Structure 1
Amino acid sequence: MKVFKLPDLGEGLPDAVIREWHVAEGDSIGAHDSLVTVETAKALVEVPAPRGGIVEKLYAAEGDTVEVGEPLVGFADSRAGATRESDEKTAAQAEETAAADAGTVVGRIQGGSEMLGSEQAPGEREARRATPGVRALARRLGVDLERHQPRDARFTEAEVRRLAGDREKGPAATAAQRETDERKQGVAGPADSPARRAMALAMSRSRDQVAPMTLCDEVDISTWWGEQNATVRLVRAIQQACVEEPHLNALYEDGQLQPSAAINIGLAVDSPRGLFVPVLRDVANCSDADLQQQIGEYKDQARETGIAREDLQGGTILLSNFGALGGRYATPVVMPPTVAIVGAGRTYQGVVAVDGKPAARPLLPLSVSADHRAVTGGELARFLQALVNALSS
Structure 2
Amino acid sequence: MAEIKAPVFPESVADGTIVEWHFAEGDQVSRDAVLAEIETDKVVLEVVAQTDGVLSKIVKNVDDTVLSAEVIGELTEGATAAPKADAPKAEDKADANTTVPPESVAAPVQAKADEQSHKDQSPAVRKAANTTGVNPADVQGTGRGGRVTKSDMANPTFKSDTGSVIATSVGERTEKRVPMTRLRARVAERLLSATQETAMLTTFNEVNMKPIMELRSEFKERFEKRHGVKLGFMSIFVKAATEALKRFPAVNASIDGNDIVYHGYYDVGVAVSSDRGLVVPVLRDTDQMSMADIEKGIGDMAAKAREGKLGIEEMTGGTFTITNGGVFGSLMSTPILNPPQTAILGMHATKERPMAVNGEVVILPMMYLALSYDHRLIDGKEAVQFLVTIKELVENPAMLLLDL
Q: Which band: TM-score by shorter chain?
A: 0.5 to 0.7
What is the distance in 2 between the residues matched to 1:251 and 1:389? 25
Sort the Cα spacing of 1:106 and 1:234 in 2 relative to 1 into closer, same or farther, 3 A: same
Alignment of 1:119-158 (within 5 A): none
> Could you tell me how far apart the structure 2 residues matched to 1:239 and 1:369 are?
16
Residue of structure 2 equivalent to 1:208 = 196
Say if 2:255 is the partner of 1:255: no
> What is the TM-score when the length of structure 1 is the normalising length?
0.63
| Structure-2 residue corresponding to 1:98 | none
Please give the alpha-carbon distance, in whole angstroms, between the structure 1 residues aligned to 2:268 and 2:43: 18
CA shift, 1:271, in A, is 2.2
Q: How does 1:354-373 map to 2 (within 5 A)?
A: 354-373=357-376
Which of 85, 107, 110 aligns to 2:77? It is 107
Structure 1 residues 285 and 208: CA distance shift in structure 2, 3 A: same
In the alignment, structure 1 residue 185 sits paired with structure 2 residue 149: yes
Contact 2:142–2:149 (CA under 8 A) maintained in structure 1: no
Partners of 2:337 and 2:395 lie apart in 1 by: 25
- What is the root-mean-square deviation of aligned Cα atoms in Å? 3.9
Q: TM-score, normalised by structure 2?
A: 0.61
Check conservation: 1:7, 1:68, Cα contact below 8 A. Answer: no
Alignment of 1:283-362 (within 5 A): 283-362=286-365
**1:40 corresponds to 2:67:** no
Q: Residues 38 and 44 of structure 2 are in contact (CA less than 8 Å); yes or no, is this contact kept in structure 1?
A: yes
Task: Quote the offset at 1:286 in angstroms.
Answer: 1.3
SS at structure 1 position matched to 2:212: coil
- The offset of 1:261, in angstroms, is 1.4
- Say whether 1:66 aligns with 2:54: no
Q: What is the distance in 1 between the residues matched to 2:59 and 2:73?
A: 11
Question: Given that residues 239 and 284 in structure 1 are in contact (C-alpha distance below 8 angstroms), is that contact kept between their aligned partners in structure 2?
Answer: yes
Cα 1:20/1:381, change in 2 over 3 Å? same
Return the alpha-carbon distance in structure 1 between the equivalents of residues 73 and 209 of structure 2.
62
Shift of 1:197: 1.7
Bigger Cα Rg: 2
Deviation of 1:365 (Å): 0.6
Query: Which residue does 2:208 correspond to in 1?
Result: 220
Indicate if the aligned counterparts of 1:327 and 1:345 stay in contact, CA closer than 8 A: yes
Q: Is the 8 A contact 2:337 2:372 kept in 1?
A: yes
CA contact (8 A) 1:265 1:279 kept: yes
Output the CA distance in 2 between the equivalents of 1:306 and 1:185. Answer: 16
Pairwise CA distance, 1:353: 2.1
> Alignment partner of 2:336: what SS?
coil
Q: Which amino acid aligns with 1:184?
A: V
Segment of structure 1 superposing worse, 342-351 or 255-264: 255-264
Structure 2: unaligned runs, 5 residues or longer: 27-33, 49-54, 82-139, 156-177, 217-231, 397-404
Q: Work out the CA distance in 2 between the residues paired with 1:180 and 1:37.
A: 14
- What is the rounded CA distance, in whole Å, between the counterparts of 1:351 and 1:74 in structure 2? 62
List per-residue Cα deviations over 1:96-132 (Å, max 9, x = no partner). xxxxxxxxx9933449xxxxxxxxxxxxxxxxxxxxx
How far apart are 1:354 and its partner, in Å? 2.1
Q: Secondary structure at the match of 1:383?
A: helix
**Relative to structure 1, is the Cα distance of residues 196 and 299 closer, same or farther in structure 2, using a 3 angstrom cutoff?**
same
* Alpha-carbon shift at residue 338 of structure 1 (Å): 0.5
Matching residue of 1:244: 247
Identity level (%): 25
Partner amino acid, structure 1, of 2:150: G
Query: Could you tell me whether the CA contact under 8 Å between 1:19 and 1:39 is conserved in 2?
Result: no
Question: Is the contact between residue 327 and residue 349 of structure 2 (CA under 8 Å) also seen in structure 1?
Answer: yes
Distance 2:245 2:363 in 1: 30
Secondary structure, aligned partner of 1:391:
helix
Aligned match of 1:136 = none
Q: Give the CA deviation at 1:309.
A: 0.8
Judge conservation of contact 1:57–1:73 (CA < 8 Å) in 2.
no
Tell me if the contact between 1:58 and 1:73 (Cα under 8 Å) persists in the aligned partners: no
Q: Is the 8 A contact 1:249 1:260 kept in 2?
A: yes
Per-residue deviation at 1:12?
5.9
- Structure 2 SS opposite 1:328: coil
- Secondary structure at the aligned position of 1:338 is classed as coil
Distance 1:298 1:6 in 2: 21
Cα deviations across residues 263-312 of structure 1 (Å, max 9, x unaligned)?
A: 11111111222111110111111121111111112212222224111111
Q: 1:339: how far off? A: 0.5
Shift of the alpha carbon at 1:46? 6.2
1:30-54 superposed Cα distances (whole Å, 9 cap, x missing partner): xxxx996522124134689xxxxxx
Instruction: Work out the CA distance in 1 between the residues paired with 2:24 and 2:77.
Output: 8
- The structure-2 alpha-carbon separation of the partners of 1:357 and 1:206, relative to structure 1 and needing over 3 Å to count, comes to same
Query: Which whole-Å CA distance do the structure 1 matches of 2:243 and 2:202 have between them?
Result: 20
DSSP 3-state at the match of 1:16: strand
User: 2:392 aligned with 1:389, yes or no?
Assistant: yes
